């Protein structure tokens, strides 16, 4: 049983969500500055509660189908972001992440993505991890390229978000390529 898990990175801790995280989570997925870059529109408080309840419930599925984890700083349990790998395909996972806007630029997302990817290859036996990123999302593209992901191509009209279709650029990294 891999619940609950807690993974310690250099700058962040990845842990399971709890019902007490609602206000912090709303500060992330309810903020247009963050969701402008995500595949869903900003969420209300009720939707944030549903999101947490869904994550807690799915986390206890056996076997797990996703690792949707809260990101905190190492010395403070407040949620400053999330990182997720959802399973799909053959030993494959899709990576997603976000950090609260007031914490951008401090390396938290890089550390969260690196820590979760390392865990997925080393502990979960994944072979391939992909990330689908909006073509104009310079921060996210910079981040995955620095982490060693390879650009595969463009997924046309991949998501419908903020009232319009949006392409995604698909990046991936394979287990034997990963250098944490």
Ligand X SMILES: CC(C)(COP(=O)(O)OP(=O)(O)OC[C@H]1O[C@@H](n2cnc3c(N)ncnc32)[C@H](O)[C@@H]1OP(=O)(O)O)[C@@H](O)C(=O)NCCC(=O)NCCS
Nearest distance from C-beta of residue 102 to ligand X, angstroms: 10
Instruction: Tell me what percent of the chain is helix, strand and coil, each rounded to the nearest 5.
Output: 35, 35, 30
- Residue placing its CB nearer to ligand X in the complex, 37 or 87: 37
Nearest distance from C-beta of residue 12 to ligand X, angstroms: 9
Q: Which two tokens stand for residue 56?
A: 């807690």
Nearest distance from C-beta of residue 130 to ligand X, angstroms: 11
Q: What are phi and psi of 164, to 5 degrees?
A: -150, 155
Nearest distance from C-beta of residue 54 to ligand X, angstroms: 19
Q: Which residues bind ligand X (CB under 6 A)?
A: 34, 37-38, 97-99, 104-110, 131, 133, 137-140, 142-143, 146
- Residue placing its CB nearer to ligand X in the complex, 38 or 48: 38
In a 3-state reduction of DSSP, which class is residue 116? helix
- Residue placing its CB nearer to ligand X in the complex, 137 or 162: 137
Q: Which residues pair with 159 in a beta bridge?
A: 166
Q: Which two tokens stand for residue 48?
A: 């944030």
Residue keyed to tokens 């905190």: 72
- Residue placing its CB nearer to ligand X in the complex, 45 or 106: 106
The dihedral built from the CA positions of residue 162, 15, 80 and 12, taken in this order, carries a sign that is negative
């Amino acid at each position: 049983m891999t619940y609950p898990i807690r993974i310690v990175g250099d700058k962040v801790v990845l842990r399971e969500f709890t019902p007490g995280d609602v206000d912090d989570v709303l500060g992330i997925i309810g903020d247009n500055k963050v969701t402008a870059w995500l595949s869903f529109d900003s969420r209300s408080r009720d939707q944030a509660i549903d999101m947490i309840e869904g994550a807690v419930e799915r986390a206890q599925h056996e076997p797990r189908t996703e690792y949707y984890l809260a990101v905190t700083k190492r010395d403070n349990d407040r949620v400053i972001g999330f990182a997720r790998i959802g399973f799909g395909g053959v030993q494959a996972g899709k990576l997603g992440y976000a950090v609260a806007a007031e914490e951008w630029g401090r390396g938290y997302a890089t550390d969260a993505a690196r820590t979760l990817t390392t865990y997925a290859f080393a502990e979960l036996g994944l072979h391939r991890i992909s990330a689908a990123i909006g073509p104009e999302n310079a921060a996210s593209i910079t981040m995955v390229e620095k982490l060693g992901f390879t650009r595969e191509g463009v997924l046309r009209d991949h998501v419908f978000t903020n009232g319009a279709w949006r392409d995604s650029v698909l990046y991936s990294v394979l287990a034997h390529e990963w250098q944490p």
